[in-house]
Structure 1
Amino acid sequence: MRVYAILDIETTGGKYNEEGITEIAIYRFDGQRIVDQFSSLVNPERKIQPFVVNLTGINTEMLRNAPKFYEVAKRIIEITEDCILVAHNAQFDNRILTTEFDRLGYPFEKETLCTVELSKKLLPDLPSYSLGKLVRSLGIPLSDRHRAQGDAKATLTLFKMLLAKDTSKEIITKHVRKDPKRQLEPKLLDMIAAAPSTTGVYYMHNAEGDIIYIGKSRNIKKRLTQHFTNDNRKSKKIQLEVTSVSFEETGSDLIAQLKESEEIKHNKPLFNRALRKSIYSYQLGMSIDEKGYRQLKIEKADSRKQPILTFTNYQQAKAAVYRITEEYQLCQKLTGLHKTQHSCFSYGIKECQGACIGEEAVEAYNARVHTFLEKNSYKNSHMLVIDKGRDVDERSVILIENGNYKGFGFYNLNYQINNPEILRSIISPMKNDRDAQHIIQSYLRKYKVLKIVNLPKEPAI
């Protein structure tokens, strides 16, 4: 007799495979009745994205005293033992669970059934197959939408209906998916097994030894698993052509990003077409208005201009300028956020000191802009970016001279690098282009490194 674990998971949102579980609900179902159930909030130990808080109502305060995943992992293993996982968009829920167990070093492998796919087969021509709209059209009650227990209970009721409709059980049987790792070709499994679970750059080769794809990851083994289990068109082509994978560990994620960018441009791999061009499309520039106020402005990327900051897209740029405006108490009119001939919106709520209508002294306003520039632009900076190395007794170093990226290197913790000539000898020269500038600036805005050492400008090393 088949036994099913109908589940729903709520997550923090965020980057692919970096999400954490905030709530989980599981119903163990023997095909006739619920024989066990489990639900719990989960402390994800990471930030919840604001849009997720709005969607689910689950916030950090609610999870402060909730169990962490490792504290509920045993119960999840018990209730799903010998079960087929059933979920609405099962690939997502299974991926999230597998990722959480991977972090604990436990191989969580289950067959899955997706009620989205089953519904499309057994209930064709419905206007929508999203859980909310689907169950509403079928008259299935749904309480606490976007909460794990409510969604899991609705999925269970939907699954019962689908089981009843599939009288021959052929479709249910056909739609059972085994864990993707079990279905991989031996050559792909061998490549995954040989890959390290460390940060670095990896190179996929075809039978002729040509590089067909270059990528970077904080966990190369996990990233290769994603490549080889994804079923999108590009991934399938890569799976057919790849015959070997080589890799270079970097320890530092920043160095991995820089090296990936340069290697893609140099090698022009077949499956990296989208990344051969510049990776940023907007930049932050500055001008002086007729009254002498410094104006910040989001512009389309222009290699002829020296940007203050660079951004992947306009939304990212606008969000950053909002943060800058708030943090440095700048004027929304002078940062381009509020287009008006009069006072800006912030002035009306007493958060702008009146530069927009000439009330604030030019010198005072420009001083705050200068503070922002000093902190965020390394146009003329001489510095070392020190971060993790490839081993525990090693550090990585990136050299910036006059705002130009010179290259990176590694040194042993037993040696202090004080001599400029010794420093130069360990640095592998790299190309300083606008993408490298963008990668470094973006990374330093978002993440902490072990240390930044400002070097004397005179004499420059």
Structure 2
Amino acid sequence: MYAIIDIETTGSQPAQDKITEIAIFIHDGQQIVDKYSTLINPQRPIPYFITQLTGISDEMVKDAPKFYEVAKEIVEFTEGKVFVAHNVRFDYSFIKKEFADLGYMFQRKTLCTVRLSRSLIPGLPSYSLGKLCKSIDIDLQMRHRAIGDAEATAKLFDKLIKINRPVIDGSYHMADPAEQLKHEIKTSLLPPAIKKEQVDALPTEPGVYYFHNEAGEIIYVGKSKNIRKRIVQHFNIDYKSRKSLDFKNQIADITYELMGNELVALLFESAEIKRMKPHYNRQQRRSVFNTGIFVYEDANGYKRLTFGTVNKADNISMTPLVALSNHYKAKGFLFHKVAKYNLCQKLCDLYKTNGACFDYQVHQCNGACIGKESPEEYNARVDAAIDSITYEHNTFVLVGKGREHGEKSVVVVEHGTYLGFGFVDEYFSAQSIDDFKGAITRYNDNKDIQQIIRGHMRGKHKEKVIVFD
């Protein structure tokens, strides 16, 4: 038995929006045998643009039952049945959230008619409910109302499970609904264009993976210690917003690059995101880091943190401790270090004055700005701040597991600057840092990369660290 469902809502995010209408058509595998529908009072105003789309207004739902008043009926109507919908994760996620708010765990097997349509009627220009119904001559009345869309989905479902398909010898026969639907239920969480066989063929090793749209464009880059497991997690998570559903529905292909270990996968993922700037990657997209945090010692012996343009460094000739995207980010970074390590705003170029800094006036600075605190005491805290943003060693190589047996990965940092990574034979012998430098592909150093390497080294890691003094 199948419960074919459609809902209307106050918006696209289950975490904050509510259901305004639900319709359920029961199909026994042969025909529609029952139906149920009701408006629902969402107990909040319905946005104007939603009313324009659905026609459902605050006035219409004013006297409608609240969700908890119809929850029992929904449970009884769907119990023991497969939850069917067009883009099933949208409807299923909303209903799960409504029940969760009542302290009830709603769980049903699911089936997506978008996936089923793509499988049984390939090659259509669009699989949206409206265009799909038009393509296969299904009369769709009351579009964007739950009762209309649910009835159209039920008619679509009925057509799909009765499609005649060719078998190996060229003859035709009625599709076996039980076997076909059993397969679709197992794969209902996958993006419509992704087949189970593609996911099953993915490696369980560390690497970087790419999601492509139907045009072949890369729309997302990710990394994992176990590529297949991470991608399955992507597909299994509950829908959070319309954007996340659109993202999932755009995935038409998956490719990957094996990296051998998590560190190299992290480094390569960061570089690829900056190079490609995929639409659905928001973190680490910035590729230009023009501002640096620098340290120097003034005439009075105080170590001073400051910020300036990388390569120009505002007349300070030195290598930056860390590179950031702009002066605004750099000032925020220094303010954080001042607060955490009790440093002086004036000696960090954050407060311009000829006398004491503002923090000294409110008893939050020990007075290095006016010579009251000795350079030795103040510099110890500056060194602690520097240690938090620099590597333990100045020049070193991290040697880890390679992509295959007999191979090793090497990550090279020279004079505090990340140079890149590469792969070498397990018998590779190096006498100097230059030998390792000749074995790597060069990549840009930046704040994201530095955080990746520092964080990795501070945790439990299996890489061998070779230090060059």
The TM-score, its normalising length taken from structure 2, stands at: 0.49
The TM-score, its normalising length taken from structure 1, stands at: 0.50
Bigger radius of gyration = 2
